[in-house]
Each structure stands twice: as C-alpha cells, then as structure tokens.
Amino acid sequence: MNRNRFPEKLNLELSRLKEQHLFRELSLESSGIDFYSNDYLGLGKIARPAAEALPGAGGSRLISGNYKSLETLESMVAKFHGAEDALVFPSGFQANIGLYKAIARKEDTFFFDEHVHASIRDGMQLSFAQKNMFKHNDLADLEKKLESAAGEKYIVVESLYSMDGDLAPLEDLANLCNKYSAYLIVDEAHSNGIFGENGEGLVTSGKVLQVCIARIYGYGKAFACQGASIVGSSELKSLLVNKHRAFIFSTGVSPILTEAISDAYQKISQAQALREKLLSNIKCFNSLFSALEQNDVTSPIKSIQFSGNENVMKLALDLRNQGFLAKGIRSPTVPVGTERIRVILHAFNTFEEIEALFEAINFAIKN
C-alpha cells in the first residue's frame, strides 16, 4: 500500500494528544450495561420496519430535493412543538452551523452560555455579529452584559446541557428578554422526547414561547434517529430557506430519513410509560449518588468528577472491564479540574444495574 505524504508537524500534534491523554479513537460497540448512549427511552433498541423510501433526495431542497412527505413531516413537527412552521435538516450540526449567520447582522449581538454545544459556537463564529459569552446559568452576569448592548440581542442557551446535565432557567431568561427587548434561541437536543407532556421538550410555557425566535430539536438522542429541525414562525422558515447556506447548498433530507423521523414522532408521542420509567431510574440514581454528584435532580445526564484526564480515563477503562459502558469526559471538553465520568440513564436500565454501578464507582473513590 502506498502511503501519502503527511506533515511532520501534524504527526507531532498526534503525539502531543497521546502524551496528554487527549487522543481519541473510534471503537466498536462493546458488550456491557449501557450508561453512555443518548438513547434515553430505548427506542433505538426497538426494531423498525424496513424503509420503502428512496435512499436519496436527488438534490438540494430548492432544486429537486423537496417532496410532499417532507413538507408533511415539517407540518407535524411544528404542530407537535407548538410552532407555526419547521425546517428539517440531516443533522443538528448542520442546523446550527447556518442558523446564526442567517438571522444576525454585524450590529447585532449573540449572548451565549459558556456551556453551549460546539456546533452553536461554530455557527456563531461564521456570523459577523458580536459574540458575548456569559457565565453558565448566571443571570446576573448576562444582565450586566445586556445593559450595554446595541442592535438586536439574541440569548443562546440549551434547555438541557449535555455535560453537566443541568437545566437552563427558561422562565427567568424570558423575563430578561422582555426587559431588554431580546430574543431567545434554545437548543432542545437533549430534552426533546423526554420532557413535556408528550415529549415536546422544555419550551412549553407561553412566556418562553413569546420571546423564543428559534428552537432546535435534534433527533439523535431520545428519538433514536438522526437529523434535526429548527422551529419557529413562518417568517423564520422563509428567512432560513433564503439565507441558511448549509440548507441552500446541501442535498436535501433523504426520504428514508423523513420516514424514520415521522415514525419516531409517533413513538415519542406514545412513550409516556417509558418517560415515567426513566424518571424512576433518575430518582434511584439520585438517592444513591447524592453525595457524589451535583446535577439537576430531574436530569438523566449525570457526572461524577475525577480530576485529571489520566485518572478519569483509567476509571472509565476499569468500569468497562467490569461491564459498565460509561464515558470519561476530559478537559478541554470540560474545564481543567472538572474531568468526569458521564453517566447517561435510560428507561431500560434496571435498579439493580444502577446499584451495581454505584458500588463500582464508590469502591474506586475509596481506593
């Protein structure tokens, strides 16, 4: 096999990552108890009928990639989430990468929580608008920054944060939006499907909806699927169709994915028993781990901090060897000193499995 040339400085970068215990490698799914996937309700373990749809859209939505079942899906999405309209994307990253440039101008400002997802940060970076980060869930810090801002003001948060597993104070953020004539953008990737009366997410109150210009709903978590939607007003959809560059210049959503998302919405709306079982598992975890973690008690995302990348990766390997699949999260993904084992709870986990995980982690702490 012929080897392509590769710059030596990039080889040195790979060596540096290995030395600092930051090197990532792909691995096949291991056998063990799942405490690491985002399949909160276990829908990914339910067999689905073979898709009869075509594998590709054949072009961008604006040329040949639009079709009736996709528009029907977008109407379903909008109705489910209490919005006027929706636009479906092949991934949450694609949805976020073009949203912020589409809606803001250079005289506008994004105020974003320091813990928002990388796709949100990258999307804002493509915009010419000003960017102003505020401390995580710190309303006082946010308000101080809002007081001196000019132009349109956009507050960007996640409703459920994927690393710390805590919730955004949406009602309080809505109050600030009203006070400073700002707009709210909420990414609901991790709350979609597991919160709300029917799994519609956390943005449900009229106060929050009134100030929320855009919501992003991902389908790679509780929906056990792929893709995402941006929902909001009909004017927002029109703007995105005309200004969202990743939408305009990408092949449209495949009919197979459209069929899968539609099927997932039907399952999510009928999954109340699974949501209740997930809540029971969260309560079980909270009762056992109350002294070890500080997450929001309602969240299925839990973190047990072990300072140092080497320490946390060693514990993750030890847990894997004992049959527990839980990921170690290293800095700089999280701040230095807050490295942790992230535990994802699911409806299909048993109380016995959670208790066994507690015993394994508690033993590691004491030894």
| 93-103 pLDDT per residue, tens | 999 999 999 99
Note the pLDDT of residue 56.
80
- The DSSP annotation for 173-207 comes to HHHHHHHHT-EEEEE-TTTTTTSSTTS--S--SHH
In this prediction, what percent of the chain has a pLDDT beyond 90?
Answer: 72
In this prediction, what percent of the chain has a pLDDT beyond 70?
Answer: 95
- The DSSP annotation for 48-94 comes to -PPP-S-S---SBTTTT---HHHHHHHHHHHHHTT-SEEEEES-HHH
Task: Say which range, 29-33, 160-164, 165-169, has the weakest mean pLDDT.
Answer: 29-33
| Confidence band of 49 (pLDDT split at 50, 70, 90) | low
| Confidence band of 293 (pLDDT split at 50, 70, 90) | low
Strands 153-158 and 130-134: unpaired
| Confidence band of 151 (pLDDT split at 50, 70, 90) | very high
CA atoms within 13 A on the CB side of 234: 2
124 near 140, Cβ under 8 Å? no
Residue whose entry in the numeric block shows the structure tokens 């339910």:
46
Which residues sit opposite 325 in a β-bridge?
34
Query: Is the model's pLDDT at 41 over the cut of 90?
Result: yes
159 near 201, Cβ under 8 Å? yes
d(CA 153, CA 159): 19
The tens digit of pLDDT for each residue in 354-363 reads 999 999 998 8
Query: Is the model's pLDDT at 3 over the cut of 80?
Result: no
Max mean pLDDT range (213-227, 301-315, 329-343): 213-227
Note the pLDDT of residue 362.
87
Q: What are the structural domains, with CATH classification, of the chain? A: 24-43+271-366 (3.90.1150.10), 68-269 (3.40.640.10)
Query: Is the model's pLDDT at 31 over the cut of 90?
Result: no
Closest CA to 74 of 192, 242, 217: 217
Average pLDDT, the chain: 92
Q: Provide the whole-model pTM.
A: 0.90
